[in-house]
Amino acid sequence: MTHQIKLTNVDLDYFVYSLRSQSLRSAVFNLAVGGKMYKAAGDVAAVKALHDINLEINEGDRIALVGHNGSGKTTLLKVIAGIYHPTRGELSIDGDITSMIAINAGIDMEATGLRNIHKLGLMRRLPRKVIDSRVDAIAEFSGLGDFLHLPVRTYSAGMLARLMFTVATEFEADILVLDEWLSAGDAAFVQKAADRMQRMVEDAKIVVLATHDDDLVRRVCNRVCELQAGKIVFLGSTEDWLVHREANAA
């Protein structure tokens, strides 16, 4: 199987259905910082968060989505991950996606660590037997051991971070979608986490990474897609992007 992500003429609009209150006007203004605001009908306004995105990502690509805050890179990442659906255009994906966006989403603080492992695995549409087969590995890598039988609300911040990171990175990915590079836990865990992330990126068929970290782009990525106001303004190799950026900074 050849793995690929393809977006054709993709737009994404956010709709706000009343502009009568000051709070909603402020919300629309804040959204419009990264896109183009237009009046859809009556009191309905829309923000074009992504406009005419044409992007093909092929097996072997490690592509960075870059741009200033509000440029649309995280929005594009969420479209690729299936969190947002395009308003117009087509998105096709060949391969299984593992999304590492907001990895703390879905945690139940009253449930045990073990129950949360199963819940988070099911949210990723993993079979129960696959989740069950990884519990011991998660307990070992996270270092939580018997603490997995306690409610998550009893965990320290470092323990919770170790659990969430380990669950997010335990299962293999054909296509890995990342909002910044994941790291977690106390100093003793950080190097383990970095090594694990590196192996996961190396093993994935495709990696899509939204980041502000230029050093990470140089180290990990072979392609760069730069966005501005919801549009692609550069698409090419990492080497060409570095030249492009230096030229524009001069």
According to the model, what pLDDT value does residue 181 have? 81
Q: Are 218 and 153 part of one and the same domain?
A: no
Is the pTM for the entire model greater than 0.85?
Answer: no
Q: Are 17 and 87 part of one and the same domain?
A: yes
Q: CB–CB of 68/228 below 8 Å?
A: yes
Domain annotation covers residue 101: no
Q: Is 173 helix (H, G, I), strand (E, B) or coil?
A: coil
The number of domains in the chain is: 2
Which of 2-6, 111-115, 165-169 is the least confident region? 165-169
Q: Is 189 helix (H, G, I), strand (E, B) or coil?
A: helix
Q: Are 50 and 79 part of one and the same domain?
A: yes
According to the model, what pLDDT value does residue 75 have? 93
Count of other CB atoms within 10 angstroms of residue 108: 13
Residues in the chain: 250
Query: What separation, in Å, do the N-terminal and C-terminal C-alpha atoms of the chain show?
Result: 44
Residue 143 sits in which domain range?
113-204
Read off the tokens for 73.
């890179």
Q: Are 151 and 224 part of one and the same domain?
A: no
Whether 93 shows a pLDDT value over 90: the answer reads: yes
The residue among 83 and 110 whose pLDDT is bigger is: 110
According to the model, what pLDDT value does residue 101 have? 84
According to the model, what pLDDT value does residue 33 have? 45
The residue among 169, 184, 204 that closes a domain is 204
Q: Are 195 and 224 part of one and the same domain?
A: no
Cα angle: 202, vertex 238, 90; to 5 degrees = 80
The residue among 204, 220, 237 that closes a domain is 204
Q: Are 78 and 134 part of one and the same domain?
A: no
Q: Are 180 and 128 part of one and the same domain?
A: yes
Paired residues of 64 in beta bridges: 209, 224
